[in-house]
Structure 1
Amino acid sequence: MDVIEANGLEFGYLAEGPADGPLALCLHGFPDSAHTWRHLLPALAAAGYRAVAPFMRGYAPTSVPADGAYQTGALAADANALHEALGGGPDAVLIGHDWGATAVYAAVGHEPGRWRRAVAMAVPPNPVLLSGFLTYEQLKRSFYIFVFQTPLGEMALNRAFVEGLWRDWSPGYDADRDVSHVMDCLSAPGNIAAALGYYRAMLDPSRHVAAYAAQQEAADRVGERPILYMHGVDDGCLNVEVAGGATGALPHLPPGSRVELVERAGHFLHLERPETVNAHILDWLAAER
């Protein structure tokens, strides 16, 4: 593991591939870690990319931000700052899952000149998400978000709870290794508060830090760079229909974007069906390279 400073934080990260290859930055979500990209990093490296997977802000060994900012705009600022710190060029690509996907939309929307293409998985653009989020079935799936708004969140976020989320979100997948990585990242109270902070900022805009206002605004508009969006058909976190199905996300993605639904995969589709997901990503990134 390596360490780099960007946007005022010290990021721990995993990396594979040639140092002079185009940057492929891979952003994880919740409850997850940079190790989630263990199948994709070597595939990207073999394709000539310098593949880098940071631990997101507040997830150990990355530092906890002093300003307490966990809004999408802050995550986007981190991605663009990491691009700068890692020496990325205009041929860089950005890949994100879950919270990492929300960072993708905002980062590419705010500074499109940094990124040639992008990939987002498991969380569609905000307009798609909001249109279906308040259905009864989806509210049941999203109970954890409301638990995290309360003081119970700190007590609830333990290994058993995380195991339950993985079991519900990706039925049939053996997540023991991944959960262990998650718990390493959330080993201190400050890290637990950070993971909850993403969700508390989601429903409480008063937690937003003004320094990230421009990036936050970019999260809600259609950008310029084409995005490949993928979603597992059996996703137990966010129903595939709520995510827009095969076409619903397209009007809210930049021109030239594409949607792929992955059969026999849940929320962590890149871990459950790595060969299929990797093939879609490498095919997408190869276009116009």
Structure 2
Amino acid sequence: MINRRTFSKAVGLGVGAVAASVGATGTPAAFAASSSTASSASDGPGHPGLVVPAVAPGTHTGFGALKQVRAGVLDIGYAEAGPEHGPVVICLHGWPYDIHSFADVAPLLADAGYRVIVPYLRGHGTTAFLSPATARNAQQSAIALDILALMDALRIRRAVLAGFDWGSRTADILAALWPERVKALVSVSGYLITDVQAQRNPLPPKAEHTWWYQYYFATERGRRAMEERRSRHDLCRLVWDEVSPTWDFDDATFERTAAAFENPDYAAIVIHNYRWRLGLADGERCYDRYETLLAARPTIGVPTITLDPALDPFLASTDGTGYRRFFTGAYEHRVLPGVGHNAPQEAPTAFAQAVLDADRL
């Protein structure tokens, strides 16, 4: 088990202040934004005309002391920034990443007046299961219910949800099944709710090649790689290099995140997630009702901005047309030029701006 006191020191420095530019109008010209059914920037309850100041990726290296809260089956570790009574944004990371994907995003949103919550997903960092008897299950509805339980534990009625990879999927599910709890949504790569039945069908060979680790994890050899510290470390580093081809991160940046992979449940959670998606591992009966709803491909009606990183190898295209039909409310689609899979850490200014803009759609 990770020692939370020493881990809090390892995750880096405190959140620094970034001056917000209040009173400007519009969004930065550098954004490659494609609008569809978008409302005026002055409409809605968000921050009319607020432009996020540009910040270089890596300006902030971490957070202050982490917090813990018992929520559902977990003791969830999370970082928090911004005013206690500000409107809430919950930022959700993916794999193989952690809360550091939002190290630059969080202070930008905090300085815009938001209370920012950045939790470790199950199996990551200081998030721990309350009981050794609980199944180390990482099916999509279980992770979504973790975040719902976190909101309940922190008495958060509604929040803007923003995520990528596993985080996008989790945010999409909450927006689809519990729209009353989601004020707005920022989803990198769009609609990522898993259709397990469709996952049984082969993809074009190039796409299958990109997903090599998913099939590796379907083997016992892949499971052992996740359990062995050095193999796990090097595999995750390889994924970072492959899916973010232009991101010039240093070793220290990766190591700050790699510390989260030392969670004793990490291997079990990662392996189950990818095996479950391919129909190779069972879920739990208690989640069947949610998975039945998700199998019907529910639409999302909350205000949404989708982001497609132009250099993300997992995207067949970046115009958003492949998933546009799933978003039925106020909506914008944006492309992040020169950006790979880890969108919030590679392009924190654009990501934070999308959060502000989604909140006022």
How does the TM-score come out when normalised to structure 2? 0.73
Amino acid at match of 2:304: I
For 1:221-248, what per-residue CA distance to the aligned partner results, in whole angstroms no more than 9, with x for missing partners?
A: 1133132111111112x0242xx63322
For residue 259 of structure 1, give the secondary structure of its aligned residue in structure 2.
strand
Query: Greater shift after overlay, 118-127 or 41-50?
Result: 118-127
Of the two, which has the highest radius of gyration?
2
Per the TM alignment, residue 93 of structure 1 is displaced from its structure 2 partner at its CA by 1.0
Residues in 1 aligned to 2:257 and 2:292: alpha-carbon distance in whole angstroms: 30
* 1:106 corresponds to which of 173, 185, 194: 173
The 1:214–1:112 alpha-carbon spacing in structure 2 relative to 1, beyond 3 Å, is: farther
For 1:3-55, what per-residue CA distance to the aligned partner results, in whole angstroms no more than 9, with x for missing partners?
A: 01111200110110111112211111100001111111112212221100000
The 1:93–1:214 alpha-carbon spacing in structure 2 relative to 1, beyond 3 Å, is: farther
Moved over 6 A (4+): none
Residues in 1 aligned to 2:169 and 2:96: alpha-carbon distance in whole angstroms: 15
Residues in 2 aligned to 1:285 and 1:240: alpha-carbon distance in whole angstroms: 28
Higher-helix-fraction structure = 1
Contact 2:306/2:332, CA 8 A, preserved across alignment: yes
Query: Greater shift after overlay, 4-13 or 203-212?
Result: 203-212
* 2:220 corresponds to which of 148, 151, 168: 151
Amino acid at match of 2:278: L
Residues in 1 aligned to 2:270 and 2:94: alpha-carbon distance in whole angstroms: 10
For residue 322 of structure 2, give the secondary structure of its aligned residue in structure 1.
coil
Aligned to 1:276: 350
Aligned to 1:138: 207
Query: Greater shift after overlay, 161-170 or 42-51?
Result: 42-51
Per the TM alignment, residue 156 of structure 1 is displaced from its structure 2 partner at its CA by 2.9
The 1:161–1:68 alpha-carbon spacing in structure 2 relative to 1, beyond 3 Å, is: same
Per the TM alignment, residue 63 of structure 1 is displaced from its structure 2 partner at its CA by 0.9
The 1:128–1:257 alpha-carbon spacing in structure 2 relative to 1, beyond 3 Å, is: farther
Q: Is 2:138 the counterpart of 1:70?
A: yes
Aligned to 2:76: 11
Q: Is 2:277 the counterpart of 1:209?
A: no
Amino acid at match of 1:155: R
Gaps of 5+ in 1: none
How does the TM-score come out when normalised to structure 1? 0.89
Gaps of 5+ in 2: 1-65, 227-231
For 1:244-271, what per-residue CA distance to the aligned partner results, in whole angstroms no more than 9, with x for missing partners?
A: 6332221122322222111110101221
Aligned to 2:96: 31
